[in-house]
A and B are shown apart, each in its own frame.
Chain A
């Protein structure tokens, strides 16, 4: 798989994204390997060129979601054109991952893939074979259910309003703090530049991230 595929907005600034450095968004057709510009173009391509076609072979997708292993047979519950976001929400019932723009613009559907933030609306599920995915449902302690410090910080600092972009923002925050436990405010803003929010004006979101860093001990270094 293309190593850049699914690189999250956390690692690409919005300006880079807007300047067209969006090579990462290119998609490969799983049937004929044609490279297409957008997910929607791929969807159209698959529907027009390969609709009803039999699978090249039996394709199994093994993916670990929130530490639970899943195996999907392509063409069964997972179709070639299904995005990871769709599979998470509609096949696994993990509706904590929200979809807003459904075209890689807003960061709402961010999940962690092997620890890195990716836009799950722009990832095909077929491309997730062998990946480890963490969604918002996987952040709390598996046994005790105790919330992750980032979640606690967002609760305490009211770092949300309508709450629709919140799961994506919390997961981008996790990726940031895992890599950089003691970020400056500027670094937080850079990391979250691809996670848009309309309700809050970002003030309390930034405060929540800084509070989370402190709670997790980053600030005491």
Chain B
């Protein structure tokens, strides 16, 4: 399959491996600067309040306190990239909108002093009525969280006035339903979820001079954050250096501007000293979590399994501010179309503000908001017409790319045909234990536009080794390795001789950030183009040296050969260390003279802006067999297969890793992880990893495997299109469906805990 490649598709030691197994890799939290101050943030005790008066003068008098920050010190400039229209997010605001919202900040010599200083800040609040649920927030007389926004012709309300699309419709939906034999209506509640990335939110800011800021941050999009800071600070982008080389996990939670970044920059400026902001786990976990969403589906089906119409209405709980809600909503409108073939379709979405922690992006970006619930509805639809769900899905799966192929490959490896015994027939019953099987399908439509920008600069060094500069962050996905492989393969040189420099806005070129699994494509392709350009430059130099035409030469493994006489060969170094007097680059005048015996630099660059016409459609099909203990309510994973189409798998380890994550985090989301809120204050009660249960080594499936189906993308680097974004939507639904087939209970909300299972089986009185 990948025989013709030397590095692509091979399992090589990752470029970040040494740094990570030795603990030498420097993350933002590891940055220590001389005279660095520690920052603590004062958080709101009220869910909704105006700040009438704020006075930090007593805090300033505490020995060791160097600077304080309140909304009065903060430029009232809204975040750029959250929503094109709903501009609601400032570094600090004169209004607080959730328990835990940022009120003020202190920079002091130690964390302990900063903490003490917070208690000395005097704040006078005017407490307002708060709304914690969408139902309350949509009531006519509900308090409006952001009355200052532009609601156009509508009255201000808690419906987010987003600049993104909120409706997608085609075909004749009414006719579709009237043609159907069965019309199914389901309402599914998509649960919120905390990212639980391992490196908590952090930033270290240092003003090197009065007009130049260097800031390390644990974020997924350094260039985007440079934009945001330039906007807030009112200085040019070249005066801000954002460094995010290694990031300890993100999963979407670090994709957009968050307040602590602005606080770090502004406090460092005020204090004239470097500062570190390090949020605690309890502060980090509520930020930009997965949107909870109420999704209503209406589906028309013919008895033969054809879908005649799909209608979707989705209400997303965006919390106090829009981080990415509008954009996610827009993406969720079209996600189902990448998975299924449907001719009559209507999809609507709205985001609603509530006085709870802000929601944001989390692995899926619209696909979880639509495809998870839709995969559950599809399973129920198959039951409604008494059809094998696999057959039903194969009838309706979108015919583009290799979706049916994925589905079939996964089903075969899983043994679906042997296992499926029909509806209401568990695959096995043993005492109180019942086994069932489920499927989940998903795609992620990774449209271009603002998201799909990437670039790479490749330099061949004097000795023939190469360095590639990319703006991307290495947050575990393996982009350093992928880019090194692409460069080595494209240029024809050893993988070990390629170094990748990344995630530094002062050194590396523009990149729209690591989200949506598009970096392999959007940065990988420019890397490949740059490698090919560098190869041409080397060939031209070598041709001059040898006295042949460039077409007569070939590059392999770091050597340049004359095709006809392969025993004659030149190293890259020999080709570059050349007595020629001609420029190798077409972009330079032909006759720039070079000194004899000098090195001719070989530098190449490429960039791309992927338009929305090139949607990368990742796809995965998940199959799971679970065992439900009907006495204990526990769910055990027996067997798990994921079939995935990543295009060409540049790093097979990386592709597998993405989906192994999904098996675990998808199981966590559907079975274990529950965001528990206080009904009185709306705050999350279990924002820690003891009370918020994420899977451990003992919880995850012991018998799982990934099938990589590799139909190549026509444009992507070596046919790659990236993988991972879509993963979770399928796995979570697969678990819910398997439980459905095991015990015949359809759960409409996550997590499906033992208590809920027992309650549904009437084994125990209602627990809450």
Contacts and interface: CB of A to CB of B under 8 A. Distances in A.
A158 B17 contact: yes
- Chain A contact residues (Cβ within 8 angstroms of B): what range? 35 or more
A151 B24 CA distance: 13
Contacts of A72: none
A137 B661 contact: no
Interface string A137-178: 101100000010001101110101111111100100000000
B364 to A, nearest CB: 15
A100 B697 contact: no
Interface in A44-76: 47
B21 A198 contact: no
A195 B477 CA distance: 20
B112 interface: yes
A155 B21 contact: yes
B70 interface: no
A160 B20 contact: yes
B767 interface: no
Contacts of A179: none
27 contacts: A14-B696, A14-B698, A18-B690, A81-B112, A90-B32, A95-B26, A101-B688, A139-B22, A154-B20, A158-B11, A158-B17, A158-B654, A158-B657, A160-B20, A162-B197, A162-B246, A163-B20, A163-B21, A166-B21, A197-B198, A198-B195, A198-B196, A198-B198, A201-B660, A201-B664, A201-B665, A204-B660
Contacts of A13: 698
A47 to B, nearest CB: 7
B656 interface: yes
A184 to B, nearest CB: 11
Interface of B: 11, 13-14, 16-27, 29-30, 32, 112, 195-200, 246-249, 251, 280-281, 475-478, 653-654, 656-657, 660-665, 688-690, 694-698, 700, 702, 704
Contacts of A201: 657, 660-665, 695, 700, 704
Nearest to A47: B112
Contact of B21 (A151, A200, A202): A151
Contacts of A18: 690
A107 to B, nearest CB: 9
Q: Which 9 A-B pairs have the closest CB atoms?
A: A96-B23, A161-B476, A163-B20, A162-B476, A164-B248, A201-B660, A201-B664, A164-B198, A136-B23
Nearest to A159: B21
Contacts of A103: 281, 688, 690
Mostly helix, strand, loop or mixed at chain B's interface? loop
A112 B281 CA distance: 24
A47 B110 CA distance: 13
B200 A100 contact: yes
A197 B696 CA distance: 8
Most buried by B among A108, A164, A194: A164
A24 interface: no
Contact of A99 (B29, B249, B476, B697): B29
Contact of B14 (A93, A155, A188, A196): A155
B54 to A, nearest CB: 25
A28 interface: no
Contacts of B695: 201
Given A95-B23, A102-B280, A203 B656 contact: yes
Contact of A163 (B13, B32, B248, B662): B248
B357 to A, nearest CB: 18
Contacts, number: 175
B653 A204 contact: yes
Most buried by A among B11, B13, B17, B653: B17
Contact of A196 (B248, B478, B660, B694): B694
Given A161-B657, A198-B251, A201-B663, A190 B281 contact: no
A194 B247 CA distance: 22
A151 B661 contact: no
A98 interface: yes
A204 B21 contact: no
Contacts of B656: 203-204
Nearest to A198: B196
Contacts of A162: 197-199, 246-249, 475-476
A214 interface: no
Interface string A100-126: 111101101000000000000000000
Nearest to B19: A163
A196 B665 contact: no
B13 A193 contact: no
Nearest to A86: B111
